[in-house]
Amino acid sequence: MAVEAAEVLRIAPALAERPLVHPAWVRISHWINAAAVVMMIMSGWQIYNASPLFGWGFLFPPGVTLGGWLAGALLWHFAAMWLFVVNGLVYVMLGFATGRFRKKLVPIHVGEAVSDVRAALTGRLTHDDLAVYNAVQRLLYVGVILAGVLVVLSGIAIWKPVQMQTLTALFGGYDAARYVHFFAMAVIAGFVVIHVVMAFVVPKSLRAMITGR
């Protein structure tokens, strides 16, 4: 017993001194974003089913959609949109203001990214130091942030095509903006699948996104 107590006393300072990998603002905005994205994608799929872009009938099985019918899905989509946009703006502004984006997400060297993708595909990519993102992570995180910006802008273009006609025109018109919105969603959905698998492959990264350390 005395030995166990001594051991706890010995490792306690080390645990407390574990470096903070993700500050609270990153963790809070990350999990709000995850919830908002899931709601936006599921309600978006219901909206899509009401007026499909591709001629394959029901692309998304009703069981994976949110809202029950078109009007219900639109309400979910717009409610989650405010959460996604406000939370995203806070994250992006703090990302720039605190220097986190500069320190963690850049630079991205093409050569490194290619060799890291190769290593990832052959199961040799390591993530020992949680404080440093590898080139694949940097690429994916910057990519998904840009896809998030694109999904919001194309969403505004199809939500308010009269008031925001310049933006809608920049996308090449209402119909083109719908395709952009769809493919930006597909990029985000693809990212989420890979990202969640990786989080469970490296559980300590998941723990750090919850506890910070």
Site of interaction with ligand HEM (CB under 6 A): 26, 30, 33-34, 37, 100, 104, 127, 130, 137, 141, 144-145, 188, 191-192, 195-196, 199, 205-206, 208-209
How does DSSP classify residue 31? Answer: H
Q: Which is nearer to ligand HEM, 48 or 141 (CB)?
A: 141
- Distance CA(104)–CA(92), nearest Å, equals 13
- Distance CA(56)–CA(72), nearest Å, equals 23
Q: How far is the CB of 3 from ligand HEM (least distance, A)?
A: 35
Q: Which residue has the tokens 């709000």?
A: 32
CB within 8 Å of 103: residues ≥ 6 apart: none
Q: How far is the CB of 18 from ligand HEM (least distance, A)?
A: 14
Q: Which is nearer to ligand HEM, 46 or 87 (CB)?
A: 87
Q: By the 8 A CB rule, do 37 and 192 touch? A: yes
Q: Which is nearer to ligand HEM, 120 or 145 (CB)?
A: 145
Q: How far is the CB of 36 from ligand HEM (least distance, A)?
A: 8
Q: How far is the CB of 7 from ligand HEM (least distance, A)?
A: 28
- Distance CA(90)–CA(68), nearest Å, equals 31
Q: Which is nearer to ligand HEM, 156 or 188 (CB)?
A: 188
Q: By the 8 A CB rule, do 142 and 95 touch? A: no
